[in-house]
Amino acid sequence: MKVLVVGGGGREHSLVWKLQQSPRVTKIYCAPGNAGISEIAECIDIQADNIEALLDFVKYEWIDLTVVGPEVPLAAGIVDAFVKEERRIFGPDSTGAQLEGSKQFAKDFMQKYGIPTAEYRAFSSYQPAEEYIRLKGAPIVLKADGLAAGKGVIIAQTVDEAVKALKLIMKDKAFGDAGSRVVIEQCLKGEEASFMIVTDGKTVVPLATSQDHKRIFDGDKGPNTGGMGAYSPAPVVNESLRAEIMDSIIAPVMKGLTKESINFRGVIYVGVMVCEGKPYVLEFNVRFGDPEAQPILMRLESDLFELLKATAEGRLADVKVTWKEDAAVCVVLSSRGYPGSYDKGDVITGLDEFKGRDDVVIFHAGTKLKGHNIVTSGGRVLGVTALGNDIVTAKRNAYKAIDKISYNGMHYRKDIADKAI
DSSP E strands: which ranges in 85-186? 89-90, 120-123, 140-144, 153-156, 182-186
How confident is the model at residue 356, as a pLDDT?
A: 81
Mean pLDDT score, 374-393: 97
> Which of 235, 189, 228 has the alpha carbon at shortest distance from 212?
228
* Domain shared by 45 and 146, yes or no: no
pLDDT at 150 over 80: no
How confident is the model at residue 109, as a pLDDT?
A: 97
DSSP E strands: which ranges in 55-129? 65-68, 89-90, 120-123
* Domain shared by 169 and 206, yes or no: no
Q: Name the domain boundary from 137, 154, 180.
A: 180
Read off the CATH number of the domain in which 47 is found: 3.40.50.20
* Domain shared by 163 and 281, yes or no: no
pLDDT at 7 over 80: yes
How confident is the model at residue 421, as a pLDDT?
A: 86
Provide the whole-model pTM: 0.94
Q: How many CB atoms lie within 10 A of CB 245?
A: 24
* Domain shared by 361 and 413, yes or no: yes
Domain presence at residue 84: yes
Domain presence at residue 113: no
Q: Which residues, in sequence order, are CB contacts of 46 under 8 Å at separation 6+? A: 31, 32, 53, 54, 57
Mean pLDDT score, 124-138: 95
Check residue 371 and give left, alpha or beta (phi > 0: left; psi -120 to 50: alpha). left
Identify the band that residue 224 occupies on the pLDDT scale cut at 50, 70 and 90: confident
pLDDT at 355 over 90: no
* Domain shared by 296 and 414, yes or no: no
Which of the residue ranges 149-163, 221-235, 367-381, 397-411 would you say has the lowest mean pLDDT? Answer: 149-163
pLDDT at 354 over 80: yes
* Domain shared by 197 and 312, yes or no: yes
| 3-state SS, residue 412 | coil
* Domain shared by 305 and 238, yes or no: yes
| 3-state SS, residue 196 | strand
Domain count, the chain: 4
Domain presence at residue 403: yes
Domain presence at residue 106: no
C-alpha dist (Å) from residue 7 to 42, 46, 61, 137, 173: 13, 9, 18, 40, 26
Identify the band that residue 35 occupies on the pLDDT scale cut at 50, 70 and 90: very high
Give the rounded percent of residues in the chain with a pLDDT score beyond 70: 100
* Domain shared by 198 and 308, yes or no: yes
292-316 confidence digits (pLDDT tens): 999 999 999 999 999 999 999 999 9
152-186 confidence digits (pLDDT tens): 888 999 999 999 999 999 999 989 988 899 999 99
How confident is the model at residue 223, as a pLDDT?
A: 87
Domain presence at residue 118: no
Cα angle at 278 between 277 and 279, to 5 degrees? 125
Q: How many CB atoms lie within 10 A of CB 289?
A: 24
pLDDT at 405 over 80: yes
What is the C-alpha separation between 245 and 266, in angstroms, rounded? 18
Give the rounded percent of residues in the chain with a pLDDT score beyond 90: 92
Identify the band that residue 204 occupies on the pLDDT scale cut at 50, 70 and 90: very high
What is the C-alpha separation between 361 and 63, in angstroms, rounded? 27
* Domain shared by 170 and 208, yes or no: no
Question: How big is the chain by its Cα radius of gyration, in Å?
Answer: 20
How confident is the model at residue 86, as a pLDDT?
A: 97
230-250 confidence digits (pLDDT tens): 999 999 999 999 999 999 999
What is the C-alpha separation between 51 and 74, in angstroms, rounded? 10
Q: Residue 121 pairs with which residues in a beta bridge?
A: 184
Q: Name the domain boundary from 149, 180, 211.
A: 180
Mean pLDDT score, 336-360: 93
How confident is the model at residue 262, as a pLDDT?
A: 93
Residue-by-residue DSSP string for 305-360: HHHHHHHHTT-GGG----B-S-EEEEEEEE-TTTTSS----PBPBS-GGGTT-SSE
Specify the DSSP element, H or E, that contains 311: helix 304-312
85-127 confidence digits (pLDDT tens): 999 999 999 999 999 999 999 999 999 999 999 999 999 999 9
Q: How far is CA 136 from the centre of its chain?
A: 31
Read off the CATH number of the domain in which 133 is found: 3.30.1490.20
How confident is the model at residue 151, as a pLDDT?
A: 73
| 3-state SS, residue 113 | coil
What is the C-alpha separation between 388 and 198, in angstroms, rounded? 25
74-93 confidence digits (pLDDT tens): 999 999 999 999 999 999 99
Mean pLDDT score, 61-79: 97
Q: How far is CA 164 from the centre of its chain?
A: 28
Q: Which domain holds residue 359?
A: 327-420
How confident is the model at residue 233, as a pLDDT?
A: 96
* Domain shared by 262 and 168, yes or no: no
Contact 400, 389 (CB under 8 A): no
* Domain shared by 84 and 133, yes or no: no
Identify the band that residue 357 occupies on the pLDDT scale cut at 50, 70 and 90: confident
Read off the CATH number of the domain in which 331 is found: 3.90.600.10
Read off the CATH number of the domain in which 224 is found: 3.30.470.20
Domain presence at residue 367: yes
Domain presence at residue 349: yes
User: Taking all residues of the chain, what is their mean pLDDT, rounded to a whole number?
Assistant: 95
Mean pLDDT score, 43-71: 97
Q: Name the domain boundary from 318, 344, 365.
A: 318
How confident is the model at residue 193, as a pLDDT?
A: 86
> Which of 305, 420, 223, 329 has the alpha carbon at shortest distance from 19?
305
Q: How many CB atoms lie within 10 A of CB 204?
A: 17
Cα-Cα end-to-end distance for the chain? 42
* Domain shared by 342 and 402, yes or no: yes
Q: Which residues, in sequence order, are CB contacts of 288 under 8 Å at separation 6+? A: 11, 15, 69, 196, 267, 269, 296
Contact 402, 331 (CB under 8 A): yes
What is the C-alpha separation between 250 and 82, in angstroms, rounded? 27
Domain presence at residue 385: yes
pLDDT at 148 over 90: no
How confident is the model at residue 318, as a pLDDT?
A: 96
